Amino acid sequence: MNDEIRNYDPTMKTVFVSGPYGDLGTTLQRVIKENRRNARIARNALMERGYAVITPHEMFEHLLEDYTQAEIDEKFPPQYFYAACLAILKQCDGIYLVHGWDDSFGAREQRAAAIRWGKEIIPYKRPI
pLDDT of residue 43: 93
Phi/psi at 111 (nearest 5 deg)?
Answer: -60, -45
Domains within the chain, CATH numbers bracketed: 14-122 (3.40.50.10400)
Taking only the tens place, the pLDDT of each residue in 73-128 is 889 888 998 999 999 999 999 999 998 888 888 999 999 999 999 999 987 765 45
CA dist., res. 31 & res. 108, Å (int):
18
Taking only the tens place, the pLDDT of each residue in 45-54 is 999 999 999 9
In 3D space, the residue among 18, 32, 47, 46 whose CA is nearest the CA of residue 112 turns out to be 18
Taking only the tens place, the pLDDT of each residue in 29-39 is 777 788 889 99
Q: Is the pLDDT of residue 25 over 60?
A: no
- Global model pTM greater than 0.85: no
CA dist., res. 1 & res. 71, Å (int):
44
pLDDT of residue 3: 58
